[in-house]
Structure 1
Amino acid sequence: MEAHIIEWLNLSVRWIHIITGIAWIGASFYFVFLENNLNRTENLRDELAGNLWAIHGGGFYYLEKYKHAPKTIPAHLHWFKWEAYFTWLSGFTLLAIVYYYNAKIYMLNPSVSSISAGQSIGLGIGTLLVSWLVYDLLCKSALVNKKKLFALLGFVLIVAMAYGLTQLISARAAYIHVGAVIGTLMVANVFFVIIPSQKTMVNAAINGETSDPSLGEKALMRSIHNNYLTLPVLFIMISNHFPSTFGHANSWLVLAALILIGVAVRHWFNLKGKGIKNHWLLPLSLMGMVALVYLTKPVSLDDNAGVISDAAVMKMMEIHCQSCHAQQPSSELFATAPKDLMLEDLPSVIKHADIIKAQAVQSQIMPLGNSSQMTPEERIQLGQWLNANSEPMFKGEQ
């Protein structure tokens, strides 16, 4: 019953996280689009910084941006903050349900570190806090005005963090925590900088005062930072479904490349919004993805070695797989087999040979946390048997 409740809790919180995340990121994309596409020169009143005509959903819209604030603050002023807050709260709750609740399984990797489950949780939470403090200090320094150098240093720090985490916890958990760090920076920008700046501006307008223009500039800068971080964090949100990334021997480098690609694609869209043509960012990003496909290709096995028997393979399934992948899992983690994948008979194993090879042989992320202590020799033997017994991917293939 416990596993059943946890499964539904996982699903419910994940659903909330996706809904609020879509709302937050959608609003971020939209307002950066507005900022980049404002008419700032033609037929503007003195009090305006820009305006924009748009059509959507069968109707015309006209938007205006003020340089400072309107003479009278409207009674119904829409704020955009709850989307960010609930995205982070649901994300952290999901992190606790999936990774911290079963830290021995999902957080630890005995082959790289001997830290305890409690230490891994402390490391994860500590990383979120320290990352925000470092980032916030950098934003308050003179370095923030040197945009390219600031971005380069930020990227180097994130990659260094990713490398350090993969040396202490499982690569899968490391990926998720890099995503959690990025998400924390984004929501902290909203909570500590963007919303307080906007509240000060609104209060000043209500009192007939002129607010400090630097507050708006700082809020806009943090908002732009958030905009560039969205695509990398979206990738990390789905990364746990793709073991060829976090399961690679140099998973931190794969993550670094994917972060770069995400930022490059976002920058292309931002340039396009400003009317600036760029002909190399998207092709370069595509080349980067193709290069990753090649660099993460599975390592070939020596098929000439003696292939173990079917009975030996089914014994492996019993020891290492069937506690989760069975009609009635004995593992306390699952009420039903993950992905409805059951490996209790030979035809099922042959049918899912590619999945098994990707998870248990190539990326070696299964069994979870290697709780059953599957040896390197067993993985090689399993891979050789799978190569010899895989079903053809296409009909007629020999």
Structure 2
Amino acid sequence: MFDTIFLMEWAQFAVRWLHVVTAIAWIGSSFYFIALDLGLRPEAGAPKGVHGAAWQVHGGGFYHIQKYLVAPEAMPAELTWFKWESYMTWVSGFAMLVLLYWFGAEFYLIDPRVMEMPIWAGVAISAGSLTIGWLFYDWLCKSRFGEDNTKLMIGLFGVLVAMSWGYTQVFSGRAALLHMGAFTATIMTANVFFVIMPNQRIVVADLKAGRTPDPKYGKIAKQRSTHNNYITLPVIFLMLSNHYPLAFASEYNWLICSLVFLMGVTIRHFFNTHHAHKGYVWWTWGLTAALFGAIVWLSSFGPVEAEAEEAALSPAQARFAAAEGFDEVSDVVLGRCSMCHAAEPGYEGIGRAPRGVHLETPEQVAAAAHQIYVQAGLTHAMPPGNLSFMEDSERALIRRWYRGVVAGEAG
């Protein structure tokens, strides 16, 4: 029999798979065209309007690629557009945000130790911040400040630092870093949807009408494409961060997030310089290593208020703590899981609690009810290899306890 949680887990898996596949397609084409654009060189005998060309070899074949600075004199019979990779990456990512952080807000989005708020408020802040972030970024690019790319990039970094700090003051650490990834990813896709594609359509319309396209549209699109290029790698880091508590659950998680954006700049600068045939700027790797070292050091600091571990449970968590069978489940979890899921794990080879989940008190067990149900009740994922010999009857206890609460809420 398929219960709601079972189906939700598979829905999350399917959407995550789609998200990864579309992201690979988008990032791959984006990085390719940035490298291609930087590597183009003038070519003798090229058609009128050709800015540069390149010869490439791949898969046993040779490719001759030419770029027009503005557009060819006439509209090509067939034109390939690159947009759906971006759109579907955002749509699938947003679906993941909704399935995991909105529907599971009491477990993943809201942390009473950070800020107590109703679910609707957390969801509203989540959705509103993505929208407002794009509007502010777009205004900044279109302002006089945006005419100087260097000043604009510095200003945008300041915005990212402020947002990193802001999210960590509102959401759980896991959700804060994930939202920074969603915040920047929304800017990237909005750049494609609201700026790059409309500008390309204007150029195509001019060609069809026999008019000479204005080069300003290509210049604007190029600026937004460059921004996307530099923030792609940080977005990937932030999307992966929810699996690594050392990144999201430390006192300085907002600063870690900020430094990740600098690493994205240094790494892309190395490759962009190389693709432009300007040599290898090896110092960027030294700076990247230093930034990563600083991140590792910052992660060594514990939570802001480690002593507040027993903060008040959310309403949903409190219902699990008060439910029938909780005492028995708590005893099972404390006996089978706490040797690893502890502030100081007792199992050899484990330095920190997996996923940052502590299961040393009944309150912590109630707070992790969903994870416990999925990992040890619905599946046999935990304990890994069943190292602590959890019995089938104990897993059944967990299922009855959790489903009882869910059924009561549904009723």
**Fold shared by both chains (TM-score > 0.5):** yes
Q: In 1, distance between residues paired with 2:288 and 2:86?
A: 28
Query: How far does residue 279 in structure 1 lie from its aligned partner after superposition?
Result: 2.9
> In the TM superposition, what are the counterparts of 1:294-313 in structure 2 within 5 Å?
294-297=297-300
Q: In 1, distance between residues paired with 2:48 and 2:116?
A: 65
CA distance 1:266–1:212, change in 2 (3 Å): same
Query: Does residue 288 of structure 1 match 2:291?
Result: yes
- Matched to 2:25, the amino acid is A
Query: How far does residue 280 in structure 1 lie from its aligned partner after superposition?
Result: 1.3
Q: Which runs of 5+ in 1 are unaligned?
A: 300-319, 324-328, 331-341, 373-398
From 34, 37, 40, give the equivalent of 1:35: 37
- Matched to 1:264, the amino acid is T
Q: Which moved more, 1:156-165 or 1:346-355?
A: 346-355
SS in 2 for 1:54: strand
Q: In 2, distance between residues paired with 1:346 and 1:224?
A: 47
| Paired position in structure 2 for 1:2 | 4
From 343, 352, 356, give the equivalent of 1:359: 356
CA distance 1:298–1:216, change in 2 (3 Å): closer
Query: How far does residue 203 in structure 1 lie from its aligned partner after superposition?
Result: 1.4
Q: In 2, distance between residues paired with 1:61 and 1:246?
A: 44
CA distance 1:4–1:344, change in 2 (3 Å): farther
Query: How far does residue 70 in structure 1 lie from its aligned partner after superposition?
Result: 2.2
| Paired position in structure 2 for 1:16 | 18
| Paired position in structure 1 for 2:314 | none
Q: How big is each residue's C-alpha offset from its partner over 1:115-144, in whole Å with a ceiling of 9 and x where there is no partner?
A: 221101100111001101100001111212
| Paired position in structure 2 for 1:56 | 58
1:245·1:254 contact (CA, 8 Å) conserved in 2? Answer: yes
From 148, 155, 160, give the equivalent of 2:162: 160
SS in 2 for 1:354: coil
Q: How big is each residue's C-alpha offset from its partner over 1:363-394, in whole Å with a ceiling of 9 and x where there is no partner?
A: xxx9599468xxxxxxxxxxxxxxxxxxxxxx
| Paired position in structure 2 for 1:102 | 104
1:41·1:50 contact (CA, 8 Å) conserved in 2? Answer: yes
Query: How far does residue 46 in structure 1 lie from its aligned partner after superposition?
Result: 3.0
From 168, 180, 183, give the equivalent of 1:181: 183
Query: How far does residue 343 in structure 1 lie from its aligned partner after superposition?
Result: 7.0
Q: Which runs of 5+ in 2 are unaligned?
A: 303-316, 327-332, 341-345, 370-411
Query: Does residue 279 of structure 1 match 2:276?
Result: no
SS in 1 for 2:351: helix
1:107·1:369 contact (CA, 8 Å) conserved in 2? Answer: no
| Paired position in structure 2 for 1:345 | 336
Query: How far does residue 196 in structure 1 lie from its aligned partner after superposition?
Result: 0.7
Q: In 1, distance between residues paired with 2:365 and 2:337?
A: 22
| Paired position in structure 1 for 2:239 | 237
TM-score, structure 1 as length reference? 0.78
From 217, 220, 227, give the equivalent of 2:229: 227
> In the TM superposition, what are the counterparts of 1:265-276 in structure 2 within 5 Å?
265-276=267-278
- Matched to 2:221, the amino acid is A
Q: How big is each residue's C-alpha offset from its partner over 1:322-343, in whole Å with a ceiling of 9 and x where there is no partner?
A: x9xxxxx99xxxxxxxxxxx87
CA distance 1:195–1:347, change in 2 (3 Å): closer
Q: How big is each residue's C-alpha offset from its partner over 1:159-192, in whole Å with a ceiling of 9 and x where there is no partner?
A: 1011111111111111111111111101111111
Higher relative contact order (CA 8 A, sep 6+): 1
Q: In 2, distance between residues paired with 1:346 and 1:288?
A: 35
SS in 1 for 2:62: strand
1:179·1:237 contact (CA, 8 Å) conserved in 2? Answer: yes
Q: How big is each residue's C-alpha offset from its partner over 1:228-262, in whole Å with a ceiling of 9 and x where there is no partner?
A: 11001011111111110111111100111111112
Query: How far does residue 112 in structure 1 lie from its aligned partner after superposition?
Result: 1.9
> In the TM superposition, what are the counterparts of 1:44-123 in structure 2 within 5 Å?
44-123=46-125
Give the superposed CA RMSD. Answer: 2.8
Query: How far does residue 24 in structure 1 lie from its aligned partner after superposition?
Result: 0.6
> How many corresponding residue pairs?
334
From 147, 162, 167, give the equivalent of 1:145: 147
TM-score, structure 2 as length reference? 0.75
Q: In 1, distance between residues paired with 2:53 and 2:160?
A: 37
1:115·1:168 contact (CA, 8 Å) conserved in 2? Answer: no
Q: In 1, distance between residues paired with 2:69 and 2:172?
A: 49
2:256·2:298 contact (CA, 8 Å) conserved in 1? Answer: no
1:162·1:175 contact (CA, 8 Å) conserved in 2? Answer: yes
CA distance 1:104–1:282, change in 2 (3 Å): same
Query: How far does residue 43 in structure 1 lie from its aligned partner after superposition?
Result: 4.4
CA distance 1:368–1:50, change in 2 (3 Å): farther
1:104·1:369 contact (CA, 8 Å) conserved in 2? Answer: no
CA distance 1:165–1:109, change in 2 (3 Å): same
Query: Does residue 199 of structure 1 match 2:196?
Result: no
Q: In 2, distance between residues paired with 1:210 and 1:358?
A: 57
Query: How far does residue 100 in structure 1 lie from its aligned partner after superposition?
Result: 0.2
Q: In 1, distance between residues paired with 2:365 and 2:189?
A: 31
- Matched to 2:6, the amino acid is H
CA distance 1:211–1:354, change in 2 (3 Å): same
